[in-house]
Each structure stands twice: as structure tokens, then as C-alpha cells.
Amino acid sequence: MSNTNELLAEKAEERAEKSGGGVPAIDRALNVLECLSQSRKGYSVSEISRRLALPKSSVHLILRTLERRGYLQKQSAGGRYKFGMKLIALGRTALDGVELRDEARPALAALAQHTGLTVHMGVLERGEIVIIERLESASTIRVVSWIGRRMSVNSTAVGKALIAHLPGPEFDARVRPEQLARPNDRTIGSMADLRKELVRVRQRGYSVCDEEDEIGVRAVGAPILNRQGHSIAAISAAGTTQQIPPERVDELGQAVRDAAAEISARFQRASN
């Protein structure tokens, strides 16, 4: 009976793949991995099942398979699953191949040292910002973040800086109203208000996240531009509201903008 069920499942997946729908089992596994990327602490079987609207039995099988292959690890306390070393190694291998990170690292390190803040670099992927580089300063006060973290475009300095410099058609295709997050009441929640904010970002040359993503955290961002003047990534300097009081924002904006301009120039030269 089990062989018959497996054969039927294989035939169903073949039909789905031929129809352009992909392989359902792989889709589910990737959805689980993307779900886990949203939390640094990881999620339990029940939490993933609820978030993805999948049966617990299916989630459990996916998690056990990924754990057995070394892509996930299960914590003894709480039964939560987190990324394993094999997945992290694959991710770092991919990131090491991103030329932009190599070009950006010197300027990011100098910015972190100069400002005493945590600096990030992110790219746009499927309507969200993915952090691909993060450097800390020597300060004992640090913003909680990590490489691989996915963040919203409308509530973060990196996000607003990046999408403010997308070509119009690309903006319309990649920034959708249904993808706008609303972490708290300070967040821009509509496309109309977001477009007004992006005009201000372009006018002053840098973006500001004023506790819009996380209460108590401010950040200032600027875009990394290609030769056509379109954004390919963005950087930010982030800290607590005590580290970045309102009177420091403009000075910090200039520093972040200068660092982004340096990275843009280095990347453009390297791309020749």
C-alpha cells in the first residue's frame, strides 16, 4: 500500500510540475525555511503549522527531514527549530559570491567605527528587504539583527532608501500594497503615504526610520546606485533613540549618504 501511495504522490507532483505549479513538497519545505527566517528564536511545529496553515503532521515530517540532513537543529528546550550549520554554511557560500558585499565592507566598517552604531546592507527580494551584511561598532548597546533577516520595505530605513530609487515600473511590480507591514502605529500603512515619504527621501538623500519598525530604535539609510542611478541595495546605521536623538539625524544622514556613495562608486568601477 505504501508503495502505491508513494507512486500516486510522485505522479501528482509530476503533473503539478508539468503544469507550471512546481513541486508541492519542495514548495512546502521552502515555505517552512522562509517562515523560520522570520524569527531568531525559531518556531515550534505548532507555530509553523499555524503560520503556514499546514497540517502538523506535514510540518513535522518536513522539519525532521531537514533536521536529519543538517539544515535545521531542534532545541531541547521548547522544541523550537532553528537554522542548522549546513544551511548557514550554504548561505555564507552564496553571500561570499555577492561581489557587492566585498566592495561595501570597507565603507561599512568605517561607518560603524565613525558613528558607533550597527550598520546594515540589504537587498530587495520578493517584496522584502533581506540583510546581506551587518557590522557592529565597539558600543555595548547594539540593535538586534542578523544576516538573512527579512524586513519590510515601508517600516525600515534600508527599505525606504532602496525603493525610493527604483525605476517606476520596477517599483510598481515589486512593491505591492498587500505586502506593506504594520509593526506599530508609527508605521506608514498606505501606498499614498509611502509615496509621499519616498519623495522626501529623494529630496534629502537619505531615509529615516523613526521607531516605525521597532519602538525605541531609530535608523538612517541611503541607497547604493548603479550607473543608471537606480538602487541595487541600501545601507543603514541603526541604534536606540538615545544613541540617535532627533538632533543627530541630519549629521548621521550625511555620513550614511557619503558611505553609500563610496560603495556605489566602488561597485560601478568593479562592474566595468
Read off the CATH number of the domain in which 199 is found: 3.30.450.40
Angle at 251 between CA 248 and CA 256, to 5 degrees: 115
Do residues 112 and 135 lie in contact, with contact meaning Cβ atoms separated by under 8 Å? yes
Domain around 178: 98-270
Q: In one letter, which amino acid is 213?
A: D
Do residues 124 and 153 lie in contact, with contact meaning Cβ atoms separated by under 8 Å? yes
* This prediction's pTM: 0.68
pLDDT of 78: 77
Boundary residue ending a domain (49, 66, 89): 89
pLDDT of 140: 62
Do residues 245 and 216 lie in contact, with contact meaning Cβ atoms separated by under 8 Å? no
Q: Which residues of the chain have pLDDT under 50?
A: 1-9, 12-13, 16-17, 19, 96-97
Burial class (CB in 10 A: 0-12, 13-18, 19+), 79: middle
Q: Do 105 and 203 sit in the same domain of this protein?
A: yes
Number of independent structural domains in the chain? 2
Q: What is the CATH number of the domain that holds 46?
A: 1.10.10.10
pLDDT of 183: 87
pLDDT of 38: 78
Boundary residue ending a domain (89, 119, 144): 89
Angle at 51 between CA 85 and CA 185, to 5 degrees: 105
Q: Do 56 and 168 sit in the same domain of this protein?
A: no
Do residues 217 and 158 lie in contact, with contact meaning Cβ atoms separated by under 8 Å? no
How far, CA to CA in Å, does 17 sit from each of 13, 65, 75?
6, 22, 35
pLDDT of 88: 67
Q: The C-alpha cell of 194 is what?
A: 509611502
pLDDT of 2: 41
d(CA 195, CA 218): 20
pLDDT of 178: 87
Q: Do 151 and 251 sit in the same domain of this protein?
A: yes
Q: To which residue does cell 532627533 refer?
A: 246
Residue 188 region by backbone torsions, left for phi larger than 0, else alpha for psi between -120 and 50, else beta: beta
pLDDT of 89: 64
Q: In one letter, which amino acid is 63?
A: L
d(CA 214, CA 247): 20
Q: Do 121 and 84 sit in the same domain of this protein?
A: no
Do residues 48 and 54 lie in contact, with contact meaning Cβ atoms separated by under 8 Å? yes
Sign of the CA dihedral with 101 first, then 104, 106, and 110 last: negative
Boundary residue ending a domain (47, 68, 89): 89
Q: Which residues pair with 210 in a beta bridge?
A: 218
Residue 228 neighbours by CB distance under 10 Å: 7
Q: Do 49 and 122 sit in the same domain of this protein?
A: no
